[in-house]
């Protein structure tokens, strides 16, 4: 094993990766995932601010609740996107899947930006909006697994956590970009102008971002693990079938690990805090622009914590890093609403900042953790489907559940206990897994990889 700072470094397959190759992979992964998650989160941000009024107000029910439900609908299609991406990614490569998920997401996002509202086309408006959100869900379901494997499978063994953090920081970067652009548009087009046209600009900006992402991603070489599989002609013929037959319990446990993080994270990425804090009929009625900037600021602390956790996991192990993260996340959950409910934007930011430290520590090591759980020949399917199921169990309807709990109880304490419960579930799932930090990822070690990482089991 050569030193990571040397001119070239061994990849998991034993091939040599130059510093230029490694930098290109990390850069392309960060740019691509940032663009993807910007597109995904800009919808959730708009839901919390305008979609309830523009697309769902005429349905004769709680428009905010219905609008937040559309955020969750896309998650129901993430597993389909993950199944398709996992199948084609294990058969045809990580790179080709990443290119197509980027295009799909960009087209859907740009079309939302030109979609007529309910006042113009009636019931067709919310229907078309939901269809485009479903396309976003399909793309998001396929994106993460490919991005993770491109990063981790190019990484030297001792730096998988750091390399794997590159697709992870695309999430807070996407939130930062989405919140920042929305805040900027709220300043440029305040009040009624924001409802008429201001909210559309961030969606249309997606066209430019997709072109940048496409250019960067097409210059990256295929994952060395998949290249080895292709060279030996040992690609799995039915990777999904093999995964579910041999590793179904592992998929469920891995999904619960992510669910514990995702439910809490979707308080901001799902638009809930933005809606709760700015709702003119709510208890706070804070300024929209100020809240968006506070959310953008918390994305910075999330980004820093995410990257730090990836690096730390290379030193103390994925499992230990996660356990620390769950404790920090629990602290953040119990401090969030007491600070938000003060009605101070500064304390709202503080609450989000504290929360995102725990979120970063339960998200930064995830790419490396997942990659080390599954055998090489079905790894894309394993990480993608575990992630997609975890997203459904965690974030899919977290904003909807939070909205319903506040409506039913008249306060936010029930939301706090819901988020605390999800955090504990994530902790328990983590404790069920062995630490596999540093396990060989190449095809030659598939027998070792097939030994179950679930504590108490020896075979998958």
pLDDT of residue 48: 75
What confidence score (pLDDT) does residue 60 get?
A: 59
Does residue 72 carry a pLDDT above 80? no
Least confident of 33-42, 197-206, 247-256: 33-42
Secondary structure of residue 363 in the 3-state scheme: coil
**Lowest mean per-residue pLDDT among 42-46, 197-201, 433-437:** 42-46
Q: Is the pLDDT of residue 249 over 50?
A: yes
Q: Does CATH place domain 15-449 in 3.40.50.10790? A: no
Could you tell me which residue, 333 or 3, shows the higher pLDDT?
Answer: 333
Going from N- to C-terminal start, the domains of the chain cover 15-449
| pLDDT tens profile 353-404 | 999 999 999 999 999 999 999 998 888 889 988 988 998 899 878 888 998 9
Confidence of residue 341 (pLDDT cuts 50, 70, 90): very high
Give whole-number Cα distances, 67 to 343, 362, 370, in Å.
24, 28, 32
Q: What is the pLDDT of residues 399-422, one digit of tens each?
A: 889 989 999 999 999 999 999 999
**Residue 29: what pLDDT?**
81
- The pLDDT assigned to 99 comes to 82
Q: What kind and span of H or E run contains 9?
A: strand 9-10
Query: For 253-272, what is the mean pLDDT?
Result: 91
pLDDT category at 78 given cuts 50, 70, 90 is: confident
Mean pLDDT of the chain: 85
Angstrom CA distances, 24 to 145, 155, 221, 441, 442, stand at: 18, 12, 9, 21, 21
pTM (whole model) above 0.85: no
Indicate the pLDDT class of residue 4, thresholds 50, 70 and 90. very low
**Which residues are bridge partners to 433 per DSSP?**
454
pLDDT at residue 290 above 90? yes
State whether residue 13 is helix, strand or coil: coil
**Cα(317)–Cα(285) distance, integer angstroms:** 44
* pLDDT score, position 231: 62
pLDDT at 217 over 70: yes
First vs last Cα of the chain: how many Å apart?
29
pLDDT for 228 equals 65
Q: How confident is the model at residue 236 (pLDDT cuts 50, 70, 90)?
A: low
pLDDT band at 261 (very low <50, low <70, confident <90, very high): very high
Return d(Cα 430, Cα 323) in angstroms, integer. Answer: 7
If pLDDT is split at 50, 70 and 90, which confidence band does 226 have? low
For 35, 158, 291, 315, 444, the CA distances from 438, given in Å and listed in that order, are 30, 7, 41, 10, 15
pLDDT computed for residue 222 by the predictor: 64
Q: What is the pLDDT of residue 434?
A: 94
Q: Which of 230-244, 355-369, 411-425, 443-457 has the lowest mean pLDDT?
A: 230-244
What is residue 26's predicted lDDT score, i.e. its pLDDT?
Answer: 80
Query: Which pLDDT value is given to residue 3?
Result: 39
Residue 223 pLDDT > 80: no
Mean pLDDT lowest among 13-27, 170-184, 247-261: 13-27
The predicted model gives 12-33 an average pLDDT of 69
Answer positive or negative: Cα dihedral of 349, 351, 356, 359.
Answer: negative
User: What pLDDT is stored for residue 1 in this prediction?
Assistant: 33
Token pair of 337 as six digits: 């609403």
């Amino acid at each position: 094993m050569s030193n990571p700072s040397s001119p070239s470094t061994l990849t998991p397959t034993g091939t040599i990766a130059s510093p230029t190759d490694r930098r290109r992979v990390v850069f392309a992964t960060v740019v691509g995932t940032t663009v993807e998650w910007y597109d995904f989160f800009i919808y959730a941000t708009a839901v919390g601010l305008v979609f309830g009024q523009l697309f769902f107000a005429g349905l004769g029910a709680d428009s905010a609740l219905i609008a937040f439900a559309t955020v969750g609908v896309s998650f129901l299609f993430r597993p389909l996107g993950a199944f398709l991406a996992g199948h084609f990614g294990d058969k045809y490569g990580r790179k080709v899947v990443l290119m197509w998920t980027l295009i799909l997401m960009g087209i859907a996002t740009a079309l939302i930006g030109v979609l007529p509202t309910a006042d113009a086309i009636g019931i067709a408006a919310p229907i078309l909006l939901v269809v485009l959100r479903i396309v976003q869900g399909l793309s998001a379901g396929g994106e993460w697994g490919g991005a993770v494997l491109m990063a981790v499978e190019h990484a030297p063994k001792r730096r998988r956590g750091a390399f794997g953090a590159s697709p992870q920081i695309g999430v807070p970067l996407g939130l930062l970009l989405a919140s920042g652009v929305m805040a900027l548009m709220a300043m440029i087009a305040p009040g009624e102008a924001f409802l008429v046209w201001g909210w559309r600009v961030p969606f249309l900006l997606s066209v430019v971002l997709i072109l940048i992402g496409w250019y960067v991603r097409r210059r990256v070489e295929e994952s060395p693990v998949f290249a080895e599989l292709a060279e030996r002609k040992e690609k799995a013929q039915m990777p999904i079938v093999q995964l579910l037959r041999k590793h179904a319990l592992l998929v469920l446990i891995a999904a619960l690990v992510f669910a514990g993080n995702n439910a809490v994270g979707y308080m901001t990425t799902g638009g809930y805090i933005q809606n709760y804090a700015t709702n003119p009929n709510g208890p706070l009625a804070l300024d929209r622009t100020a809240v968006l900037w506070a959310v953008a600021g918390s994305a910075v602390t999330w980004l820093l914590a995410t990257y730090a956790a990836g690096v730390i996991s290379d030193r103390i192990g994925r499992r230990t890093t996660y356990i620390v993260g769950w404790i920090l996340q629990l602290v953040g959950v119990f401090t969030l609403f007491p600070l938000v409910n003060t009605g101070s934007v500064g304390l709202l930011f503080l609450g989000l900042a504290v929360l995102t430290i725990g979120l970063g520590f339960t998200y930064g090591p995830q790419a490396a953790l997942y990659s080390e759980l599954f055998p090489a020949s079905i790894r894309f399917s394993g990480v993608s489907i575990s992630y997609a199921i975890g997203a459904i169990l965690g974030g899919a309807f977290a904003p909807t559940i939070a909205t319903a709990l506040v409506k039913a109880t008249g306060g936010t304490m029930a939301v706090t206990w819901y988020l605390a419960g999800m955090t504990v579930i994530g902790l328990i799932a983590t404790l069920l897994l062995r630490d596999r930090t540093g396990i060989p990822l190449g095809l030659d070690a598939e027998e070792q990889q097939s030994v179950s990482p679930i504590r108490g089991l020896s075979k998958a």
